[in-house]
Amino acid sequence: MTVLGIETSCDETAAAVVRGADGQGTPPVILSNVIRSQIDEHTEFGGVVPEIAARAHIAVLDRIVAEAMAEAGVGFDEIDAVAATAGPGLIGGVIVGLMTAKAIAMAAGKPLLAINHLEGHALTARLTDDLAFPYLLLLVSGGHTQFLLVKGVGDYERLGSTIDDAIGEAFDKTAKLLGLPYPGGPAVERMAREGNPKRFALPRPLLDRPGLDMSFAGLKTALRNAAEKAQPVDEQTARDLCAGFQRAVSDVLAHRTRTALSLFAERFPDAEKVIVVAGGVAANSEIRAALDDACRTAGARFVAPPHRLCTDNAAMIAWAGIERLEIAARAGEILDDQSVAPRPRWPLDETSASLLGAGK
Ligand code: ATP
Ligand code: MG
Ligand code: FE
């Protein structure tokens, strides 16, 4: 199966062509993976502006799709389907991507697959690694922070999530507070490298409570208070604040990961203990190391797909489409979501495998 994927739910305009495994030992292959980030358009506003994002997607999507097809060296007659993010995300962008995908699918006479963006993140590790169900997923991005149980294609269970800010959002707000550029994650990480994580005592919110929920709003407030008390915030103080913040986040994630792994072992005593990390925050070296460490002590396998596939991209959308097509083919079903509407909100546990079902 060869699928064209399209992703426009946030601030990346992306198109990719992926070919599935051939069933005779050849693994799946990413034929092209074109990503155009809109960071430059949003930088001066210190965050993503939805209206600007939607217009920027319209301006470049045709070209990005053409590039992805050319790089893959396939024509529209050679693909089996067009897969596009149908939600969740910024509605303007989702409309642009889904409608473009519908038009291409219709013109090419191919089925259209409406993909849940989070499902793309959840299944990516099966494209890059030899990974069987069930496994744990930790999704840490600008918009999401959650532990998911991935039991099969279309079979997801949310085990816990942030009750306020997403971690990427907390990184971005920390950067803004300290006058660092957007996006905040890489800037905070750079500063933290030269900082003393112990100078400021920052909280590890919710860790005294059982379960897998997390909270980062209190950490942000504590950081602001510490910065106010430390006036003036010189370069070294900013570095120490970044280091303290990053250490607190790493500690919380490592702690929750240990809990998630023991929960997983209870539920699936015979399965290999595996946790996959996805989302832009997974690029953070200290967080990666903390998770890796937590896995090692728990005797679990830690899977971190390459950075380019952890952040928003269209290869993950094409791949989710392939996984669905293969299930449908085995069941003798024909999939086509040409009538599906975009969904700004679409929890992953409402994504079912039997019927693609965005909006159904
Ligand atoms: P969604 O939540 O819908 O997947 P998104 O665009 O916010 O969308 P990504 O593109 O996956 O998600 O990730 C962007 C986020 O990752 C930003 O908040 C950014 O600050 C954060 N980030 C990127 N690099 C790092 C890093 N090295 N350390 C920490 N955070 C990072
Ligand atoms: Mg993004
Ligand atoms: Fe994403």
| For ligand 1, atom 7: residue with the closest CA | 142
- On whether both 100 and 150 belong to a single domain, the answer is no
Q: Is 305 in the pocket of ligand 1 (CB under 6 A)?
A: no
Give the Cα separation of 288 and 160 in Å (integer).
19
Measuring from atom 3 of ligand 1, which residue has the nearest CA? 143
Tell me if the bond preceding 232 is cis, omega within 30° of 0: yes
In a domain, 233, yes or no: yes
Instruction: Kindly give the distance from the C-alpha atom of residue 157 to the centroid of ligand 1, in angstroms, as a whole number.
Output: 23
Task: Indicate the top mutation candidate among 281, 308, 310 to test ligand 1's pocket, ranked by most ligand atoms within 8 A of CB.
Answer: 281
How far apart (Å, rounded) are the C-alpha atoms in residues 102 and 111? 9
Digit-coded pLDDT (tens) for 118-159: 999 999 999 999 999 999 999 999 999 999 999 999 999 999
In 73-135, alpha helices (H)? 91-108, 117-128
| Residue 234 counted as an annotated binding residue | no
Domain shared by 315 and 258, yes or no? no
- Whether 189 has a binding-site annotation, put simply, is yes
Q: pLDDT (tens digit, 9 = 90+) per residue, 75-95?
A: 999 999 999 999 999 999 999
Check whether residue 98 and residue 226 sit in a common domain. no
Clarify whether residues 245 and 175 are in a common domain: yes
Strand duo 145-152 + 135-140: pairing: antiparallel
User: 173 lies in which domain range?
Assistant: 133-307
Residues 22 and 115 reside in one and the same domain: yes
Whether residue 225 is annotated as binding a ligand: the answer is: no
E strand or H helix at 263: helix 235-267
In a domain, 92, yes or no: yes
Give yes or no for residue 265 having a pLDDT over 70.
Answer: yes
Distance from Cα 113 to the centre of ligand 2, integer Å: 22
Please check whether residues 100 and 44 belong to one and the same domain: yes
CA of 32 to the centre of ligand 2 (A): 19
Averaged pLDDT for residues 293-322: 96
Number of domains the chain contains? 2
117 annotated as belonging to a binding site for a ligand: yes
Shared domain for 103 and 147, answered yes or no, is: no
Residue 353 lies in a domain: no
Same domain for 169 and 122?
A: no
Question: Residue 351 pLDDT > 90, yes or no?
Answer: no
| Ligand 1 atom with the shortest distance to the CA of 285 | 27
Atom of ligand 1 nearest to the CA of 310: 11
ipTM above 0.90, yes or no: yes
Q: Measured in angstroms, how far is the CA atom of residue 43 from the centroid of ligand 2?
A: 13
Nearest CA to ligand 1 atom 16: 280
Say if residue 180 is in the same domain as residue 106.
no
CATH number of residue 302's parent domain? 3.30.420.40
User: pLDDT value at position 352?
Assistant: 61
CA dist 132 and 317 (Å) reads: 19
Q: What is the DSSP letter of 340?
A: P
Q: Are residues 169 and 280 in the same domain?
A: yes
- Average pLDDT over the chain, rounded to an integer: 94
